[in-house]
A and B are shown apart, each in its own frame.
Chain A
Amino acid sequence: MSHDKAQTGDLIDRYVYQVVRRLPQSQRADIEAELRGLIDDMLSARGGGKREDVIAVLRELGRPAELASRYSGSRRSLIGPEYYDTYLLVLKIVLAATGFGMAVAQAIGFIAEAPDSIFVAVARFFAAIFSAMVQAFAWVTIVFALIERWSGGSFLKDMEWNPDDLPPVPEKNTAIPRGEPIAGIVFIVLLLVLINAAPQLFGAYILEDGSLRMVPAFDPGVFYRQLPLVDVMICVGLVKEALRLVVGRYTLPLSLAITALNIVTTVMFILLFGPASGVWNPHFMTQIGTEWSLSETAAQLWRLVPIVLTGLVIFGNVVDSVQAIIRGARCRKA
């Protein structure tokens, strides 16, 4: 009998402990005393303190974690509904860009330095992608959890909102499908990673006596000197895509902003990569020409590359700007 009593007492101790350990220190003693009193009352009501009675009573009270959560009543989500949609969207973009960027960076790494075996290569490839994506996931989640905590999930609620501020429902042809700016952001992040982490990608690879020789497309000295400006130019593009994602439809102000950013990008591109920039490796064709036995006229073609590229960039930016302005103006009329 006393043995049985000790056992049931132990069961109650274990239950109470599992409840209070989940509660704030300051409330533990009080809740524990009250909870023990309750269990005692419930046992008396059943008219027994046998093991089966204790088990029935504890079952009725429910799982310790559930009971504790009813006591604490605290918020039980890391990221609340206010930010959840934005969080998911940003998470997807960041994971896609990181995973893809890391895959390409690894592939380039293997070209630069051949791994010992295919198994090592595969293992290293997936390990690097996995750990980069875990990091990306963690950082995005941490940032959003902090926003949630700092704003108390309520800084939007505290502001009075005016129904007049609601933007009009976008017309079919003024709405920007989310996929466009997202694809743009992924591409730009990728470009940013590659141009900073693996500029050697931009060049020609020549197999020479069983080993790869790289002929750079850019003059390394000039390229590294102006790399910060190149990054600024790419980030201007990133800002443009972010604006399109956030605004979500073509408006006149957005169209004007897009046009202004396109002008900045185009001017910077002409200065940094235009025919007069000096960033292109002038000996590119002659360096690979010896290997591929190209004629002299082929070497002349190399000088056309910056001109053609500049033309394409100007054309692309003009088309993008005109399209944005037409759509923005159409929205104005509507």
Chain B
Amino acid sequence: MTEDVRGVLVSLEQELRRGAIVLCILSLLDRPRYGYALVEHLEKSGMPVEPGTLYPLLRRLEKQGLLTSEWETSGPKPRKYYAMSEAGREVYRLLLSDWADMQAAVNELTREGENHEP
């Protein structure tokens, strides 16, 4: 594989992951978690996300009304905890069913593709 094609592959992979990451984040925020806990959890689950990407994303989702946040100051260090809002749960449910439909469709299409191979 040439350098150019590898670059294209990397950017396509990023595009594929971009939407899925939101789904993964929402799935983990059915209970309050702070940012770095999410980073570690996602990495362990094989869906690593850079902190520099995740933190701004959390704020954006909060601004869009899908998450709520609260500073937890009773612990050893203050941390901002995020959790799904009511609207967030609704969106998550719908996204999940979209994801399942999409997955089924993609599987179907790629299986058809395999049959065409010589």
Contact = CB atoms under 8 A, between A and B. Distances in A.
Given A41-B36, A42-B51, A60-B50, A73 B80 contact: no
B55 A45 contact: no
A234 B17 CA distance: 59
A34 B52 contact: no
Nearest to B54: A38
A140 B61 CA distance: 38
B59 interface: yes
Contacts of A60: 50-52
A70 B80 contact: no
A33 B77 CA distance: 11
Interface residues of A, number: 19
A34 B80 contact: yes
B60 interface: yes
Given A34-B35, A37-B78, A42-B36, A62 B52 contact: yes
Interface string A157-194: 00000000000000000000000000000000000000
A34 B77 CA distance: 11
A84 interface: no
| Max count, chain A CB within 10 A of own CB: residue among B55, B71, B79 | B55
Given A45-B40, A73-B60, A38 B51 contact: yes
A315 interface: no
B48 to A, nearest CB: 12
B14 interface: no
B118 interface: no
Contacts, number: 45
Contacts of B50: 60, 62
Interface in A54-71: 60-62, 66-67, 70-71
Contacts of B77: 37, 40
Nearest to B56: A70
Given A34-B35, A38-B35, A71 B59 contact: yes
A73 B60 CA distance: 8
Q: Which 9 A-B pairs have the closest CB atoms?
A: A41-B36, A70-B56, A71-B56, A61-B52, A62-B52, A34-B80, A67-B52, A37-B79, A38-B51
23 contacts: A30-B80, A33-B78, A34-B35, A34-B55, A35-B55, A37-B34, A37-B35, A37-B36, A37-B79, A37-B80, A38-B35, A38-B51, A38-B55, A41-B36, A42-B36, A42-B51, A45-B40, A62-B52, A66-B52, A67-B52, A71-B55, A71-B56, A71-B59
